[in-house]
Chain A
Amino acid sequence: MTEHVTVWLGAYHDGELRGLRLRQVEAHLAHCATCRTELERLGALTALLQESPAAAGLTPPERFVAQVKLRLPRRPERPATQRALETGWRLAPLGLLGAWAFIQAMFIVAGVVLVALRMGLGGEVIAGLFPASQQGAWLTDAFTLSDAGLNDIGRSALWLLSGGGGLGWTLTLHLVLLVVIGLLYWSWLASWVVRTRIPGQQRIR
């Protein structure tokens, strides 16, 4: 005869066993009178427990509800800073989407403008878009790239953007920015999952 399954009988009695363990207990019970008796005693105990009467003379349901509602305190308002942070957190994906769109647009526009400048078309195009009175100093600087209008760093950046440093550098910079945005998005998603799951687990006091 195999070892008694006393430790699993409670779970078997409650219908909580599955799979292999269930089959093991059933097989054991089929030929073990001792464990069958134990199981019957568990059933008898459950029946006996039900003999203890339920609470009597309770307040009628509607009155109970009214009493609870009367005792409900005003829920404290969350501070404005916390609400603002919460809203900001919820809007984070939109911000990331905006950043992604901005980077894409920046690369396209910068490429178009610099190609136009190299071909000597920039002056006419910009002059057509903006009347002379609205042209700011930044436009003047943009059209005098080869002059002293930009410092060395700015000139290097535009040189890279225009492909002067090779297509590889431009693509690398582009990809790095997109990867950073992607990582930020996945981090937000992970924190959203964590925030959704954890609160139900805490002990409430």
Chain B
Amino acid sequence: MDSRPALPAETELRLITLAQQGDRRAFGELVRRHREGVVNVVYRMCEDANLAEDAAQEAFIRAWQHLPSYRPRSPFRNWVYRIATNVALDALRRERETVNVDMLPPVASQDGPEATVEGKERGEQVRQAVLALPPASRAVLVLREYEGLSYREIADTLGIPIGTVMSRLNYARNRLRELLAPCLEAL
């Protein structure tokens, strides 16, 4: 879930207005504030930290280029997540041509030497199961489970109807329950 504090709307709006006028420092502040969320979305989509950082930077560059057309009808976060999701899907498409997802390196554990082998294995199984989902369902799952967006926000972010959000999320969860059945039974 997203534990980052929400930004005061007025401050963010001011930064967006300045950035729309070409203020790079204001845009840098927006990048700093949304970096963690964007990197996280892209990382959960592709499960590769290096690829995620590159793709996140690419997402912010696209956001800068399209910023004049942004209207604050929907939150900036949703808008930039949409770009990040598109960039992640593009990156995955490119990577798939050269790299087998099953061959991706395991992630480095943050828990240190005291972390159990069982926990590491389970984390790795979850990672592989999420990667096995179709990209469209994975995007919905990531935005819901890891970023805590509401269905309406997900619909707005991905430009799809709420009914589609629900069906993709149901599909993703059912598929994960099949793939992770041994882990779930062990819990």
- How distant is A18 from chain B, measured CB to nearest CB, in Å? 11
**Does B187 contact A47, Cβ atoms closer than 8 Å?**
yes
Report the minimal beta-carbon distance from A94 to chain B, rounded to whole angstroms.
23
Q: Are A64 and B61 in contact, with the CB atoms below 8 A? A: no
A75 touching B43, Cβ below 8 Å: no
A16-B150, A49-B145, A72-B64 known; A204 vs B86 contact (CB < 8 Å): yes
Query: How many Å lie between the Cα of A10 and that of B168 in the bound state?
Result: 11
Instruction: Please count the residue pairs between chain A and chain B whose beta carbons lie under 8 angstroms apart in the complex.
Output: 132
What's the Cα separation between A81 and B145 when bound, in Å?
47
Chain B, interface size category, equals: 35 or more
Q: Decide: A45 near B184, CB < 8 A? Known: A55-B107, A199-B70.
A: yes
B123-A52 in contact (CB<8A): yes
Q: With a CB–CB cut-off of 8 A, which chain A residues contact B69?
A: 199, 202
Q: Is the CB of A10 within 8 A of B169?
A: yes
* 8 A Cβ contacts from B3-37 to A: 22, 24, 27-28, 31-32, 35-36
Is there contact, CB below 8 Å, between A204 and B32?
no
Kindly list chain B residues whose C-beta atoms are within 8 Å of the C-beta of A73.
61, 64-65
- A72: which B residues are within 8 A, CB to CB? 24, 27, 61, 64
CB pair B126 A51 closer than 8 Å: yes
Taking a contact as CB atoms under 8 Å apart, the answer to whether B35 and A61 are in contact is yes
In whole angstroms, what is the CA distance A50 to B44 when docked? Answer: 11
Quick one: given A46-B145, A55-B39, A59-B53, are A69 and B24 in contact (CB under 8 Å)?
yes
Indicate whether B52 reaches chain A with its CB closer than 8 angstroms.
Answer: yes
Residues in A with CB closer than 8 Å to B39 are: 55, 58, 64
What are 12 inter-chain pairs, A to B, with CB distance below 8 A?
A: A7-B170, A14-B150, A14-B151, A45-B180, A51-B122, A53-B109, A53-B110, A56-B107, A65-B28, A69-B24, A75-B22, A200-B73
A residues apposed to B, CB below 8 Å: 7, 10-11, 14, 16, 41-42, 44-59, 61-62, 64-65, 67-69, 71-73, 75, 196-197, 199-205
